[in-house]
Amino acid sequence: DAKTTQPPSMDCAEGRAANLPCNHSTISGNEYVYWYRQIHSQGPQYIIHGLKNNETNEMASLIITEDRKSSTLILPHATLRDTAVYYCIVRVAGAGGTSYGKLTFGQGTILTVHP
């Protein structure tokens, strides 16, 4: 799985959009970008994933650059409950064999949402 680079921490004002960047310059053509977050004392929570097109769901939007070497997770209206560690992960979706169920987490970005 490709290595990702994220800023260690970011701040955001409540009600504003939070834009979390991720660099994955060595991503392969068959690797998807996944985002998870982990709120204190809880297990990681799946947010969204995508291959090359922008994706949106009820939680967030994912913008992937055309060359796929970086992406941005957007929380459109951040709330205090969005304070968490956000992990960007790249992997081959639907991978079987020994990759099944394996996610390689990095250090992530600590997002702090302020009132």
When the beta carbons of 66 and 98 are compared against other proteins, the nearer one is 98
Phi-psi region of 97 (alpha: psi -120 to 50; beta: other; left: phi over 0): left
For residue 44, give the nearest of 73, 84, 83 by alpha carbon: 84
Residue choice 12, 91, 109, 111 for contact with other proteins (CB under 8 A): 91
| Contact code string over 20-49 relative to other proteins, x by CB under 8 A | ------------x-x------xxxxxx--x
Which DSSP category does 83 fall into?
-
By the rule CB under 8 A, 104 interacts with other proteins: yes
By the rule CB under 8 A, 59 interacts with other proteins: no
| Cβ-proximal residues to 54 (8 Å cutoff; 6+ apart), any chain | 61, 62, 63, 64
* Residues forming the site for other proteins (CB under 8 A): 32, 34, 41-46, 49, 85, 87, 89, 91, 93-108
